[in-house]
């Protein structure tokens, strides 16, 4: 389906599809098994100028929006969402700077991120603070022209691979949620180090590592916006990034569907290809319908968000929760269609099933997304004067 794409948007799809086909698919199983960060693929993506799709031209980017970025992430996700996550996570780390950074900060960091010369990462989650962001314990104390950070961050995507980190720390504990602030921390800053590399169920080509701050001293001009803006920056960043998670889900679902249909056409049982059996046809039909519905929702919401509406939290949560659930369901169904072969590493669907689970967890669990949607509905209907009862 065309979805009324411009020629430039079609080119983004074609380019990322080519990279997926020629560079990612041949090595995705190897990288997954070795739990190896895909630096070679990152270099190909940098050479193709894909890291700057959503970054304005004055900062070295392509001047596109959320929609263009989602098109690229989706196509990469068809091949491997571990590798696609490594790519997309740099955007997550860049958004606090792009949305709230000073002009000097944008000029310093965004061209480096847009070129792919330096990856970015986002540091929020801690051992005691995941969905409950108010549980953050990492602190930043002003010391003259510097801030000193102490604490740790857990499960940070691209940790140890990125060189630019947007990190949330508490600057005023008394103010509670209004006492958090965001800072840019760079690899090599004194007192900044990395903990263990996590061993994961899926997305194993994506590095997940602990960030450790022990009297980490950074210049005061690395504060993003101003003190107390931290939680606002975090929520606005997630609003922008959640369609990217949805794009990973759409891509994974499409990739799993492709394998399942191809297998069903070739696999013969009872002297017939199994796609001729109604039970398999119905399963594939449901997989295809939900994948297409997920894509349609993502595309419409991404375009809507690029129109710069005032409120986007509800729709961003909707596309994330729906696409994540669809990806998990379609990947599981693909394993079922392949039967015993689907359970083996010889076929990619067992990896897709393992990978899909994270889409329901990271960047806000799907339970949290439903909370957001419900809260926004309560606000919307509370403002209505019309009664429906």
**Which of the residues are catalytic?**
363
Contact 147, 200 (CB under 8 A): no
Contact 334, 267 (CB under 8 A): no
Who contacts 57 (Cβ-Cβ below 8 Å, separation ≥6)?
A: 63
Token pair belonging to 125: 């989650």
Long-range contacts from 138-142, C-beta under 8 angstroms, 24+ separation: 138/167, 138/168, 138/169, 138/170, 138/213, 139/169, 139/170, 139/171, 139/173, 140/169, 140/170, 140/171, 140/181, 140/183, 141/171, 142/171, 142/220
Q: How many residues does the chain have?
A: 389
Token pair belonging to 123: 């540091």
DSSP letter, residue 4: T
19 Cα distance to chain centroid: 19
Q: Is 36 exposed, middle or buried (0-12, 13-18, 19+ CB in 10 A)?
A: middle
């Amino acid at each position: 389906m065309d979805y009324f794409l411009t020629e430039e948007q079609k080119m983004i799809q074609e380019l990322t599809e080519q990279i997926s086909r020629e560079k990612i698919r041949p090595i995705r199983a190897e990288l997954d098994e070795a739990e190896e960060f895909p630096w070679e693929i990152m270099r190909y993506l940098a050479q193709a100028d894909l890291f700057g799709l959503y970054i304005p031209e004055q900062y070295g980017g392509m001047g596109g929006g959320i929609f263009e970025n989602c098109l690229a992430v989706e196509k990469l996700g068809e091949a491997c969402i571990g590798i696609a996550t490594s790519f997309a996570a740099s955007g997550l780390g860049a958004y606090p700077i792009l949305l709230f950074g000073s002009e000097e900060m944008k000029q310093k960091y965004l061209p480096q991120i847009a070129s792919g010369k330096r990856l970015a990462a986002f540091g929020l989650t801690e051992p005691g603070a995941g969905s409950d962001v108010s549980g953050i314990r990492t602190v930043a104390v002003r010391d003259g022209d510097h801030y000193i950070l102490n604490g740790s961050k857990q499960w940070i995507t691209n940790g140890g691979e990125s060189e630019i980190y947007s990190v949330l720390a508490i600057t005023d504990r008394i103010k509670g949620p209004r006492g958090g602030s965001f800072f840019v921390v760079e690899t090599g800053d004194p007192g900044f180090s990395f903990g263990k590399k996590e061993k994961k169920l899926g997305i194993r080509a994506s590095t997940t590592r602990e960030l450790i701050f022990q009297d980490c001293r950074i210049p005061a001009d690395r504060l993003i916006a101003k003190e107390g803006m931290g939680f606002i920056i975090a929520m606005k960043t997630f609003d922008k990034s959640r369609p990217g998670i949805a794009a990973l889900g759409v891509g994974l679902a499409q990739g799993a569907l492709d394998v399942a249909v191809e297998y069903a056409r070739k696999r013969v049982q009872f002297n017939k290809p199994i796609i001729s059996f109604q039970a398999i046809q119905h399963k594939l039909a449901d997989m295809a319908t939900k994948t297409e519905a997920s894509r349609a929702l993502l595309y419409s919401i991404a375009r809507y968000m690029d129109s710069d509406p005032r409120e986007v939290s509800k729709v961003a949560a909707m596309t994330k929760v729906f696409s994540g659930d669809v990806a998990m369901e379609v990947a599981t169904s693909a394993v079922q269609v392949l039967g015993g072969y689907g359970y083996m590493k010889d076929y990619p669907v067992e990896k897709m099933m393992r990978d899909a689970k994270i889409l329901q967890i990271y960047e806000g669990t799907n339970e949290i997304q439903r909370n957001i949607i419900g809260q926004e509905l309560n606000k919307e209907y509370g403002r209505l004067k019309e009664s429906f009862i």
